[in-house]
Amino acid sequence: MVRELPVSLLDHGTHAIVIYRSVWEPDTDGNYGWRPGHTPVLVWARVQPVRSTELVVNGQQVATVARVIARHAPAGPWDRIDYDGRTWDVLGEPEQRGDSPATRHTTALMQARGPQRQGGDGDG
């Protein structure tokens, strides 16, 4: 008898994210380090906003953070994620959660590289 696992929201993510796994390679000066790789991995996940902070002291800075939840997301520190027309960096190490096959999943935080551009002519 084959036992079927219950269908979970983890199995049907509504957001397509593209992960570029980190690779150990040199920069243009020959210094080795972990950098986002060149091979994309498509993952269907759920993406939830966590926070957006705007700092306007001595200039302008925006930090937008989101949570990625997927059954399996091969993400790690120094990886790059493309999502919603923006480039994101993985913050820290993703957490592998779940005590059973039905609840097993990966949770990762990602931070956008720069603000999302709004329409307009730039005149303020």
Question: What one-character DSSP code corresponds to residue 31?
Answer: -
**Chain mean pLDDT for the chain:** 81
Instruction: List, in order of start, the domains of the chain with CATH numbers.
Output: 9-112 (2.40.10.270)
DSSP secondary structure, 53-95, as one string: EEE-TTS-EEEEEEEEEES-----TT-EEEETTEEEEEEEEEE
**For position 44, what pLDDT does the model report?**
92
| Alpha-carbon distance values, 64 to 31, 87, 96 (Å) | 30, 11, 23
8 has pLDDT over 80: no
- For residue range 25-78, what is the model confidence (pLDDT) as tens digits? 999 999 999 988 899 999 999 999 887 665 555 566 677 899 999 888 888 888
Residue 11 backbone class (left: φ over 0; alpha: ψ -120 to 50; beta: rest): alpha
Distance between CA atoms of residues 106 and 94, nearest Å? 7
pTM of the model: 0.74
Handedness of CA 48, 69, 109, 80 (dihedral sign): negative
| Tokens describing residue 26 | 């040199």
